[in-house]
Structure 1
Amino acid sequence: MIKHICILLLLFSSILGYSQQIQDCNTWANFTTRTLRGIAIGNIAITGQHLTIEAEINPSVQYTLNSSGDIVSKHAWPADCNYLLRPDRGQITLTNGVHYSTPPICATLQGKTYHVAMTYDGEELVFYRNGIRMSSIKCSGNLIQNNWNTVIGTVATQNSLAESYTGYINEVRIWNVTRTQNQIFSNMITPLTNPTSESGLLAYYRFNSLKNLQGNTAFDGTLSEAITYPVPVPSCILADNGCPSLDCNLTSTFDIDQDICDPAHFKLANTTSNVVSYLWRFGDNIANQTTPNTEVKYQESGIYTISLKVSDNNGCSGTTSKSVSATVLPNVIENTSEEICKGQTVTLVSSISDQNTQYRWTPTLQLSNSNQRTTIATMEETTNFHLSVEKENGCQYDADVLITVPDAAKFAMTPTDSTVCNGKGVTLLAVGGDSYEWQDNEGNILGKDASLDVVPSKSETYKVDISNTKCGERASLSSTINVFPETSLSIAVSNTIDCANPSAQLYVKDGRNVVWETNETLTPNGNNAVIKPTKTTTYSAKIEDKYGCPYEVSYTQVVAFDPSSSLFFIPSAFTPNGDGKNDIFIIISNVAMNKFSLRIFNRYGQLVFNSQNQEHGWNGRYKNELQPTGTYIYEVVGNSSFCGEYHKKGTIVLIR
């Protein structure tokens, strides 16, 4: 409490003329003459809805109103102003394209020292001199952005002497937060002790150098030739404002008109003069309003507080609050929408029972009367009833209630008679009622839901009793589910797999839409497949029968090759007599050989024939001489990539 009192005393002392000693008198920058350049400090863009710009100044010339020079500028012209601080005002442009300036205050005096500041909080732009709020303007929105470098002492475009400042500047502070008046006042004569850790501080300059003391070197300053630093300021004492004190004794006034017919509805009218902004608050989570006159309707009965805050062009504001008692009327018709059966009745009642009240129900068809508070409707069809009520005081009320008469029940059951595959389930569904009971052929109860899942193994008839209990309707429906006969399906093979026949074709009789299970030794060919196994392998397929019912079948191909029985055909005798019949002893094979050798020996063990060509046989000669009739020994060696190694010895008879 003591702290707050001291602050208020300091504020009022400043207003009344009490001067304060600033702490840094020797590190100022002197703008000795108007300059186009100023001190450029980089593109210090401020986005969003919060800023504070501060500086200490001492003008070397006597400025007049509207001719005071730019202290800190990031603007080119009014429509392109991220921010601009002058000795007598602050200015910004918002993304809605509107330029805002606080009303100019009195001019500064030559040779006098001042602290100037501007703030924006998304609702209001405020200008301070010596920590005192001097002027403001209401505005809302985001700050416009531009690519101009921020400049101290002249316009950011650096092309206008008319906007240049002549005099001393120090303690320039640029923030992207909204500083409070107390923060501005408490720190305006004292240098920041820890600028690198100040929250929201973007740049800070004391002109013993051009460095940004906040620490971001991208915002270090660049010097113009018309500026000297550091120099002492002519006066180290904050001057009086020289401006008249603002009389902020502003009180808002407004009138309330409660609707006699709807006592939860209020019309509100501002009666305060010479104000420029309005803020209505209603409580009950109702959105605030900013128009001079407005209205509010409460959704629940109760006591509410309505307040109006108004502000004038000087930034002064005042607030007044009033309590109101809101009464929310009940629905004009007590009934709510409902559904009843055809021919049934419903009593319709108005909630308004005052004497000398007139009632009118429409449409009148189906009603026992149309001009009484209570009427009875005998329902034949869906109807939206409308009630108009006029009370003795002239208040009129209207309301509707919908009475629905459902169509006659449409009972149905799906599927109707149908046939399914053996072992396949089917879902039976009944509609149109609110009660169901399923039975089988023998009268066994199977379920009491709207649907029933069954898996018949034979033809079966299912019955369902459906009821609409509300309107007393019922029906019994049935459906016969037949079962397709089972089909015997199997996989057949075209031939035996052996050394002579390494592949075979699989096929399915009486099947369709065959899907073969993937196997590296199987090549699908429509409903058939070619197999080439190297070992015993089982092949599987998914097949549909002629009814479309699915089956899974398999076939196992046994592979046990006996090369000696199937690789070669070896004759037991031959007759090389030149008659063209059986003149050559040759070994026949329908299998391609990787290696082949045939050798024949006489009874003395002498090699009489040798060939590595499977197609060459012995003609019964040795060194082109006929060999005698007799028994000879052969040795055959073969190798097949499919059937492997074959080696056999035997005898052959040569007959002449």
Structure 2
Amino acid sequence: GIGTFEVEVYDTPDQNPVTPIVVCEDESVILANKDAEILASQSPTVQTRYFYTFNNARDNISPINKNSNLNPPVGTSTVFVRLTDTANQCFSIVDIAVNVFAVPSITNPSPLSTCGDNNSTEFNLNSKIAEITGNNVNYVVAFYNTQPDLVADNAIPNPEAYSSVSKTIFVKVTDPTGNNCASETTLALNVLQVPGNDTVPQLLEECDATGFHTFDITEREPILRGTTAPNEAAFRYYINLTDAQANNNNTINSPEAFTNTVIDYQKIYIRLNSTLNFDSETGIACYRIYEQEIFVRPYPENLLKDTSYKICIDIDGRVVNQALIDAGLPDADYAFSWYNGFDAIDANRIINGNESIFTTPVAGEYSVKITNITNSALCSTIVNFVVENTLIPFSIKGEPSELIAFGIDNTITAITTPQSADFEYMLNNEGWQQSNIFNNVPEGIHTLTVRNEFGCGEISTSVVITDYPKYFTPNGDGYHDYWNIGGRVGVDALNVYIFDRAGKLIKDLTNNQSGWDGTYEGRALPSDDYWFKVIYSKNGITGEYMNHFSLKR
């Protein structure tokens, strides 16, 4: 027979493209989260079911629980979505690309151990990057103080110079070429205590006049080592800092007997290496470097006199001035101890003798110990000296005190009371001499002086020599412009007459105290020898003397 039927054609759900799912391998996927995107333009009666294969989606078998956490494999895979319109049971199938990126492949690092002091040090965290990343230059590594800092991405700002105590920090490794997928790990930081004390070595000081001395520069080792066990530390000694820093073999061979190579002062560098703790990255032992200063101090300078010191004694043997001994060095920088007898024997120390100046009224042998107190070397010098009595001149007279020296030797002898080999003598201001005899004393009034050469008194007297000058030079220069008899006060009366070679009277100087100026009746006479005649009296005795002198122009 013939029948009829109706055919109804319905539209299948839209097959709109779906954006791929992109995740890292450590992230899970919930397919239901794609429903909103897939159903956005569909009829409200359309429902989704997800399948691993197209055939399963077509046959509607073995669906995926779209609300479960899925962990797709690394790489690109496809999930199929069956869109079924429940109003008419028509369906469509669309596919979704699932791109899963691998997280960075990293190594859990070994602890970072760095040398430090007082339980803290500066770490170079970046030194661990190669170990963590396996030298993968595409990875980006960041370090974090805490896990919350890692979550907040609050990274340590200066990982190459990170100050810290021993602790564990957090590390995130990101692959910018792989969806910025990241791996996480931790890094243990260990502060390795450097050996020895954090101190400055006490100076090494010795006394030596040469500026060089042999030192035991190891004597500070117990102090420098501190609480570090002897078997956990090794000392090395260097002249140069760069050698000490390099820990090379340019060491001082015999530090127990080291003679400084620079005069007076030198720095030695002491490297104290740990035999227990080593930097994990460099393999260098933890260490300290000390600067050991060594000084070779001079002995105090001896500024005492080589000769004896003197006590001034008067003619009756009484002490007028005590002997004064001045060490010549400041009390602020030196200590002084004075002793009876030589060589500064302790039993002979003089009480209260502790300043740079010492006085005594007693002659004898003495000594002084001078110690430099400006440094711990306390270098001392012992100086022996002698104190002697010396006489003060009491009186002096010239012998003779008045000399009419016409035609005789003009010699004056100083006669003193008392007499002493310590006296010096001087005529006028012509210089001191040891002899008390003065020869060829010219005409005139003179001052004769005696003094104690050690400063114990000085007295003077006058002597008169009546005589004539052998020449004069009347040229107006102020020197020897007049000729006359000198020392006129040495006679009671004096008449002086000047003649030329022919015996003609040129000048009568009897009442002329200034002398002859070389002229006659206002006319200058020529250079020549002229004669004179002297008639004098002394103590009622009259004498006469004639001779000649030169006029020089």
Say which structure, 1 or 2, has more relative contact order (CA 8 Å, 6+ apart).
1
With normalisation by structure 1, the TM-score equals 0.25
With normalisation by structure 2, the TM-score equals 0.28
In proportion to residue count, which structure has more helix? 2
